[in-house]
């Protein structure tokens, strides 16, 4: 079998690797030590960046669902599935880093305030997306149901975003510095680089997951063809 050199994938992986290393360097050596929370505040850059990528990934799933329902093409379903799986990884990272940050900041790893409750529900909803796909055998029905589910599930993203603005919540608005956090220009630079690095990493992982799903599809098609000849 003739091997295929994935130049775009290699370039994306290299760029994301360099960006992540640059982000790590800025988090630990460029960004100043926060006056109130100290070094534990550095989790902020990982927490916000992973949450942003998770939200963006679910938005891509939302668009992919619309694309599939309109055009019925397999590529939209592959995009939605791949983005959900990558997005779940980053949202889980956001929940874990948020809990680690909350312990020294709030005195507890978790509290059932609106923002955190919505985050927990959102995580479970997108886990259920994968369970839905395994419960339906017909590929067409599976893709159609998953597309509709992905569109409806996206409502959790704006709910999570506006929760700290609509309700009184312990969770601060981190993009404006947050209550009790002295946000400086160097912190802003570090956050921007971290966001860019995590976004590049998302596209790298998404591309690889799409390629994997296409290979699985070809293998299943080949298996069906071989089975029909027996």
In this structure, what CATH number is given to the domain that contains residue 26? 1.20.120
- Across residues 143-151, what is the average pLDDT? 96
Residue 2 covered by a domain: no
Least confident of 25-29, 46-50, 182-186: 182-186
| pLDDT for res 73 | 93
Question: Domains in the chain: how many in total?
Answer: 1
- The SS3 of residue 94 is helix
Do 26 and 171 touch, CB atoms closer than 8 A? no
| pLDDT for res 61 | 97
| pLDDT for res 106 | 80
Which residues, 6+ apart, have CB-to-CB distance to 91 below 8 Å?
A: 50, 51, 54, 57, 119, 122, 123, 126
Q: Residue 106 belongs to what domain range? A: 8-176+184-220
Residue 226 covered by a domain: no
Least confident of 8-17, 20-29, 61-70: 8-17
Residue 225 covered by a domain: no
- pLDDT tens-digit readout, 86-124: 999 999 999 999 888 888 878 888 888 888 888 899 999
Residue 17 covered by a domain: yes
- Across residues 119-139, what is the average pLDDT? 92
- pLDDT tens-digit readout, 165-181: 766 655 656 555 445 56
* Percentage with pLDDT > 90 across the chain: 59
Which residues, 6+ apart, have CB-to-CB distance to 104 below 8 Å?
A: 37, 40
Residue 114 covered by a domain: yes
Residue 166 covered by a domain: yes
Between residues 52 and 218, which one has the greater pLDDT?
A: 52
Residue 1 pLDDT greater than 60, yes or no: no
Residue 124 covered by a domain: yes
| pLDDT for res 182 | 66
* CA 169 vs CA 164, 186, 190, 228: distances in Å: 6, 27, 26, 60
| pLDDT for res 53 | 97
- Across residues 69-82, what is the average pLDDT? 95
Residue 44 covered by a domain: yes
| pLDDT for res 2 | 41
Residue 217 pLDDT greater than 70, yes or no: yes
């Amino acid at each position: 079998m003739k091997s295929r050199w994935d130049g775009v994938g290699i370039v994306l992986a290299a760029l994301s690797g360099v960006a992540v290393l640059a982000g790590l360097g800025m988090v630990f050596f460029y960004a100043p030590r926060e006056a109130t929370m100290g070094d534990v505040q550095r989790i902020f850059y990982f927490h916000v960046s992973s949450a942003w990528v998770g939200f963006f990934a679910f938005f891509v799933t939302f668009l992919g669902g619309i694309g599939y329902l309109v055009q019925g093409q397999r590529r939209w379903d592959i995009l939605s599935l791949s983005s959900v799986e990558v997005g779940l990884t980053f949202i889980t990272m956001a929940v874990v880093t948020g809990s680690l940050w909350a312990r020294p900041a709030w005195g507890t790893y978790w509290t059932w305030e609106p923002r955190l409750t919505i985050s927990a529900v959102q995580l479970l909803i997108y886990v259920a997306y994968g369970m839905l796909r395994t419960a339906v055998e017909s590929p067409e029905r599976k893709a159609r149901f998953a597309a509709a589910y992905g569109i409806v599930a996206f409502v959790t993203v704006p709910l999570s975003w506006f929760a700290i603005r609509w309700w009184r919540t312990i969770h601060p608005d981190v993009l404006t510095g947050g209550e009790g956090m002295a946000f400086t220009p160097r912190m802003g630079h570090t956050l921007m680089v971290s966001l860019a690095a995590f976004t590049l990493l998302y596209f790298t992982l998404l591309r690889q997951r799409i390629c994997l799903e296409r290979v699985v599809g070809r293998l299943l098609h080949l298996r069906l063809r071989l089975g029909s000849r027996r």
